[in-house]
Chain A
């Protein structure tokens, strides 16, 4: 079993829809959970990060972590065509270890 599982999609939604992106993981030692956004042929950019369990909101984006289920989610409200990108989840055990990435989910928001 891979440490981090993420459905690669592709996922296509109409503009204005609520998008739900998810990752599951197997290692209970992960403490920090991140979502990166990557536009085509560009480097990934950090979108949000969460420490331990709970929710975090930033504008139209909400990140949720459920450590009991080893499940993390990213919700995008009122999705826009500019949200079309690949979304990568990532997690880390402690500060001095490499991030572990999911495979990424490709999202298209259709106007």
Chain B
């Protein structure tokens, strides 16, 4: 099956710890995206990557970091510098030419204890 996988589905971390969220896609898409979703806030773009070894900050990149070493993988690290990390995190991908459908993963719910 083609699609996007995110792991884990639920993640708990203690304050002050870094944590990495996994995102893998087998759709052969060039572009990948990370969003954060809070109640009543919609989807806010954290980082995106249009090609391997390159990525750009989105609207709320502070306290987050990413890497894009392989086309199919785009992990997101939530660092201790992120003040309010508890949220639902969504990864997405799409072909980066003309208009193409953007597909989303199932999401990771991060809770900071």
Residues of A at under 8 Å CB distance from B? 6, 8, 31-32, 41-46, 49, 51, 88, 90, 92, 95-96, 98-99, 101-104
Contacts and interface: CB of A to CB of B under 8 A. Distances in A.
A49 B31 CA distance: 19
B50 A8 contact: no
Q: Which 8 A-B pairs give the minimum distances between C-beta atoms?
A: A43-B104, A103-B42, A95-B98, A101-B43, A32-B99, A96-B96, A44-B104, A95-B97
Interface residues of B, number: 27
A41 to B, nearest CB: 7
Q: Tell me which of A31, A90, A103 has the highest count of chain B C-beta atoms within 10 A of its own C-beta.
A: A103
A8 B98 CA distance: 30
Contacts, number: 52
Contacts of B88: 41
Given A43-B104, A98-B48, A103 B41 contact: yes
A88 B106 contact: no
- Binding site secondary structure of chain A: loop
B40 A43 contact: no
B96 A95 contact: yes
A18 B90 CA distance: 30
Contacts of B42: 6, 88, 101-104
Given A41-B107, A88-B43, A95 B101 contact: no
A99 B98 contact: no
Interface string B17-61: 000000000000001010000001111010010100000001000
24 contacts: A31-B99, A32-B99, A41-B88, A41-B107, A41-B109, A43-B90, A43-B92, A43-B105, A44-B43, A46-B102, A46-B103, A49-B99, A49-B101, A90-B102, A95-B97, A95-B99, A96-B31, A96-B50, A98-B33, A102-B42, A103-B40, A103-B41, A103-B42, A104-B43
